[in-house]
Structures are given as C-alpha cells and as structure tokens.
Amino acid sequence: MFIASDEEVTPAVLAAMENTADPRFKAIIASLVKHLHAFARDVNLTESEWERGIGYLVELGQRTNDRHNEAILASDAIGLSTLVCLMNNGQGGNTETAAALLGPFWRMKSPVTESGGSIVRSATPGPALFADIQVKDAKGNPVSGVEVDVWQASPVGKYENQDDTQADMNLRGKFTTDSEGKFSFRSVKPAGYPVPTDGPVGELLRAQKRHPYRPAHLHFLLFKNGFKTLVTQIFVDDDKHLESDVVFGVTKKLVGDFRKRTDKAPASDVSGDWYTLSYTFHMEPGEALLPTPPIR
Ligand SMILES: [Fe+2]
C-alpha cells in the first residue's frame, strides 16, 4: 500500500507484521511499534532528535564488550530492569519480593567454594565480613542443594573485571546450601560505587543532574531445579545512597543487618572492626532458568 499521511504509518506497519508465527513475539513487537509511534507523536519528535536517539542506541552497543555491558546499565538507569524484576517476582508482582535486578557484572563460572570459605582471592583492603545465609522455601522449610553465586565490588568500589589490581574472580564464589539450607562465607564489607560514567549512560545522568552512585551491596543468584531462580542484592544498612540508588534497586526487604563487631573475630588474621551479616532468602516454586551473563 501507498502511505499518504503520518496517520497511515502505524496501521501499515502492524498489517505488515500480521503473519508473525510466534504469537508472543507478535504481541510484543506490535505493542512496541504502537508505543514507539505514540511516543514520537507525544513529544513531536524532530528528525535531529530521532537521529540523536539512534546514535545513542548505536553507542550502547559499541560500548558493550566481554568485560562491560552498557546496554544493561542503560536499562538499569531508567528503571526498566527493576520494573521487569518486580513484575515477575513476588507471585507475579502481587507481594513484596526479595528479588532485585541482575546488574551488568554477573559472570557465569564463579569459583566453587566450600561453605565457610573466603571469596577474597587477592589482597583486598577493608573490614572483614562474615556472612551466614539460609535459604527457605515459601512455607519456611530449609532448601538444601541450592547453588548460590555471590559477587560484589571491592571496598574501592570496583568489580574485579573493572580493576587490573584484583585477581581474576576476586570477590566471586559459588556455594551450595547444606541440609539446613545454610552456607557461610568470608569476604570484605562492600563499598558503594559509581556506575561507569564514561559512556552514554554517564551522559544521560549528567544531563539529568543525577549522581551515579549505587549503595554498597552483595549480589546473589540462587539456582535449584523446581524453584524460580532468585536474583537479588543485599544492601549495607549504613549507606547514604540507600534511598537514591542510581538504578532503583533497593527495596526495604533487601537492606541487610550488617553488625559491626569489636569482639574477637572468628579468624586470627582479622584486625580492627569486622562485620557479620545474617540473611534468610525465600525461594518461590517455579522454573529454574539462568539469565544470559552480561559479561564473560
Ligand atoms: Fe553491583
């Protein structure tokens, strides 16, 4: 068909996609087209603004590589990741959930570590942290055999893949829960960090006069067949950015009880203050699917 006016564009595009075989794919793309066209109309998008938007998407791709994922960061910074996370967890978004966004730094093959072991794999300054974690099902029964990935930034606010001074896989580990659904590990108290601001996401934050900080946190990914994979983060309770996380990831349930301790630590090499964290996760019944790792 010939298109005579802007009103005729949207129905023409939808008609052209009418034979899409996969019904879910058809619904998603049709809705995307309708909303994108409506958005262009809503803001009276100019040609130069459209060009700038396309350039922005191109730059997200060009800035993404094996060690960095700018596209996920962009989704995080506009709240889309948290929205999708909250809609899909907590019984389909109906109850408060302990899930949180994956973020751009999960790696697939964290080193398998015995319960009680340390994830500090190269000299890392900062107060020692001893974490005791338990996993329960929706009814409160402990869940054994859950594979749990843990990853975090160092106390200077960098993940090992961003920092050549850290050993490969520093502050990353994979644990398995025991018959009581428990595991424990040693690490260092994490620090908050700015998300990378040298790319298009930084440009967006500066234009909006937003700070780039995430409150300090530990990441967890819990996987066991028969349960919905739980991707989440536990936040340090004394962080000043808890209520202004640049990626909107903090819910009340995810603020951990990080206890400062001055008594004798459980390891002889600990000097100065140290911290403990106890936290219980609840897994929902569902499908055990792993996300695609944002980086290698
Ligand atoms: Fe993080």
Distance 286 CA to ligand 1 centre (A): 25
* pLDDT at 97 exceeding the cut of 90: no
Q: Average pLDDT, stretch 239-250? A: 96
Quote the CA–CA distance of 72 and 49 in Å, as a whole number: 23
Q: What single-letter amino acid sits at 120? A: V
* pLDDT at 130 exceeding the cut of 90: yes
Residue 279 is inside which H or E element, if any? strand 274-283
Range from 131-135, 162-166, 211-215 carrying the lowest mean pLDDT: 162-166
Query: Which DSSP category does 37 fall into?
Result: H
* pLDDT at 46 exceeding the cut of 90: yes
pLDDT, position 91: 78
Buried b (16+ CB within 10 A) or exposed e, 103-138: bbbbbeebeebeeeebbbbeebeebbbbbebbbbbe
Q: Which of 129, 126, 127, 122 is nearest to 164 (CA)?
A: 122
pLDDT, position 292: 87
Distance 251 CA to ligand 1 centre (A): 15
Share of the chain above pLDDT 90, in %: 86
Distance 190 CA to ligand 1 centre (A): 10
The residue written with tokens 């730094």 in the block is 105
R_g (Cα) of the chain, nearest Å: 22
Distance 171 CA to ligand 1 centre (A): 12
Q: Which of 32, 30, 27, 31 is nearest to 16 (CA)?
A: 30
Query: Which DSSP category does 143 fall into?
Result: -
Range from 83-97, 104-118, 195-209 carrying the lowest mean pLDDT: 83-97
Find the length of the chain: 296
Q: Strands 230-235, 258-261: parallel, antiparallel or unpaired by DSSP?
A: unpaired
Sheet bearing 274-283, strands edge to edge: 182-188, 128-137, 274-283, 258-261
- Going by pLDDT thresholds of 50, 70 and 90, the confidence category of residue 159 is very high
pTM over 0.85: yes
Distance 261 CA to ligand 1 centre (A): 24
Query: Over the stretch 177-206, which tens digit does the pLDDT of each residue have?
Result: 999 999 999 999 999 999 999 999 999 999
* pLDDT at 9 exceeding the cut of 90: yes
Residue 173 is inside which H or E element, if any? strand 172-176
Distance 152 CA to ligand 1 centre (A): 6
Distance 116 CA to ligand 1 centre (A): 22
CB 70 within 8 A of CB 60: yes
Mean pLDDT of the chain: 94
Distance 177 CA to ligand 1 centre (A): 23
* pLDDT at 93 exceeding the cut of 80: no
Distance 105 CA to ligand 1 centre (A): 7
pLDDT, position 1: 76
- Going by pLDDT thresholds of 50, 70 and 90, the confidence category of residue 156 is confident
* pLDDT at 96 exceeding the cut of 90: no
Distance 169 CA to ligand 1 centre (A): 14
Helix axes 9-16, 23-42, angle to 10 degrees: 170
Helix axes 200-207, 70-77, angle to 10 degrees: 20
Distance 215 CA to ligand 1 centre (A): 9
pLDDT, position 274: 96
Listed in sequence order, the residues at least 6 apart from 12 whose beta carbon sits closer than 8 Å to its beta carbon are 1, 3
Distance 163 CA to ligand 1 centre (A): 14
Distance 296 CA to ligand 1 centre (A): 16
Residue 213 is inside which H or E element, if any? strand 213-214
Residue 148 is inside which H or E element, if any? strand 147-152
